[in-house]
């Protein structure tokens, strides 16, 4: 046997032995017991429950409910009254999807309450959700069951003297009565109520409302009586006598006038709230000039109040409307329209009214703020006596 053969044989034997050893090791690994095999670490347990939902705030819930209703119906809110145009625009921008349905911008407080009565069983578009009425109209509306209670988030900053303790009505803004005059038509603008009797104002003087239904008109009649030096109920009677003279002199125009009519000269002199007169002057920008004269005699301040109809077709949208009005944003919109917002004192203390807005607010110095009882007593005399004493219907 040659050496080469021997070597090849040896190599073959070694190769066979190596394969055998490898196969033996593999079999041993395959048949190892569980104790001999190292198990991988267990996986983290998988959560089987859903996460807790985020808590929904009361305001978020109110917004969702109001947007689901989709509409809020207002009434008697001219866009140039206390800067309501900015209020409407601000509300719609903040709460998209809610349509503001505006009813009869020229209506008075009494007509607003009559609209609630007339639409008790009518959830349609002629039923107001909210009303903006004179202070004296709030308590009887509550007593009659025409309005429902709701307290806004800023409730505590509304003066107690300007709100119902149970939340049925609450003050929104205030101002003083003034003589709004078109200076392009009236060369010598009157400064006091007594001036209105002068012959030069023949066919030029009107009221901003009907004394049978309008808060502003009723208070105007009373203010002219207060200017004579009379007080209380005697002033209400004196006011009726004043308008009797004004009508007999031919100076009184028996129409429900507004700032537009002053601007075009149709009724160049009206008695209206100072904030409306000043805003009209700003809007007209000198074409023509509007003069605002606040009489020193009979200077009377008036507070308006908000309320939600007891039969509101859109109660959640109505509440959201109120929340907006009494927020800083809503109150500042009124202040920008020369109205004193009802939260004026609290906002001034907090420094939330810009200096330029404060500077443009008309003075209420010396103005008389009557109580509800005083207003009610005067209103009763004026509403009852106007048809017989003055004897003219305001349309």
What confidence tens digit (pLDDT) does each residue in 264-295 have? 999 999 999 999 999 999 999 999 999 999 99
As a whole number of angstroms, the distance between CA 141 and CA 160 comes to 18
**What letter would DSSP give residue 326?**
T
Mean pLDDT over each residue of the chain, to the nearest integer: 88
**Stated length of the chain:** 395
- Are 133 and 109 spatial neighbours (Cβ–Cβ below 8 Å)? yes
Q: Among 133, 216, 107, 137, which residue's Cα sits nearest to residue 376?
A: 137
**CA quadruple 277, 279, 283, 289: dihedral sign:** positive
In this prediction, residue 50 carries a pLDDT of 53
CATH number of 58-174+302-363: 3.40.190.10
- Are 271 and 208 spatial neighbours (Cβ–Cβ below 8 Å)? yes
**What letter would DSSP give residue 39?**
P
Using 50, 70 and 90 to split pLDDT, how confident is the model at 29? very low
Q: Where does CATH 3.40.190.10 sit in the chain? A: 58-174+302-363, 175-301+377-390
The gap from C-alpha 94 to its chain's centroid, in whole angstroms, comes to: 12
Instruction: Give percent of the chain above pLDDT 90.
Output: 83
In this prediction, residue 80 carries a pLDDT of 87
In this prediction, residue 16 carries a pLDDT of 37
Helix (H, G, I), strand (E, B) or coil at 390: helix
Is the pLDDT at 263 greater than 70, yes or no? yes
In this prediction, residue 53 carries a pLDDT of 58
Mean pLDDT, residues 339-354 taken together: 96
CATH number of 175-301+377-390: 3.40.190.10
């Amino acid at each position: 046997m040659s050496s080469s053969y021997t070597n090849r044989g040896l190599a073959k034997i070694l190769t066979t032995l190596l394969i055998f050893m490898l196969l033996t090791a593999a079999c041993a690994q395959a048949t190892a017991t569980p104790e001999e095999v190292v198990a991988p670490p267990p996986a983290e347990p998988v959560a089987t429950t859903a996460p807790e939902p985020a808590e929904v705030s009361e305001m978020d819930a109110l917004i969702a409910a109001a947007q689901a209703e989709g509409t809020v119906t207002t009434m008697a809110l001219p866009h140039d009254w206390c800067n309501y145009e900015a209020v409407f625009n601000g509300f719609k921008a903040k709460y998209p999807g809610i349509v503001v349905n505006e009813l009869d911008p020229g209506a008075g407080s009494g007509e607003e309450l009559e609209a609630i009565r007339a639409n008790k069983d009518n959830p349609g578009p002629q039923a107001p959700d909210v009303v903006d009425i004179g202070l004296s109209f709030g308590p009887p509306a509550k007593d009659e069951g025409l309005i429902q209670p709701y307290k806004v988030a800023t409730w505590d900053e509304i003066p107690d003297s300007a709100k119902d303790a149970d939340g049925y009505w609450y003050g929104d803004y205030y101002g003083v009565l003034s003589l709004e005059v078109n200076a392009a038509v009236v060369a010598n603008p009157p400064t006091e109520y007594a001036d209105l009797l002068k012959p030069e104002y023949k066919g030029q003087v009107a009221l901003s409302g009907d004394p049978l239904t309008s808060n502003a008109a009723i208070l105007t009649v009373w203010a002219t009586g207060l200017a004579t030096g009379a007080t209380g109920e005697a002033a209400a009677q004196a006011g009726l006598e004043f308008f009797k003279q004004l009508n007999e002199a031919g100076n009184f125009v028996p129409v429900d006038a507004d700032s537009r009519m002053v601007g075009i000269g149709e009724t160049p002199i009206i008695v209206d709230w100072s904030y409306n007169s000043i805003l009209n002057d700003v809007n007209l920008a000198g074409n023509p000039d509007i003069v605002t004269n606040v009489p020193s005699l009979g200077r009377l301040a008036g507070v308006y109040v908000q309320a939600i109809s007891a039969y509101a077709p859109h109660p959640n949208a109505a509440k959201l409307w109120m929340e907006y009005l009494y927020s800083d944003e809503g109150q500042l919109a009124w202040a920008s329209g020369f109205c004193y917002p009802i939260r004026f004192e609290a906002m001034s203390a907090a420094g939330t009214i810009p200096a330029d807005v404060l500077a443009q607010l008309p003075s209420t110095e010396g103005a008389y703020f009557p109580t509800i009882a005083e207003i009610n007593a005067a209103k009763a005399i004026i509403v009852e006596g106007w048809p017989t004493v003055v004897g003219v219907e305001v349309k």
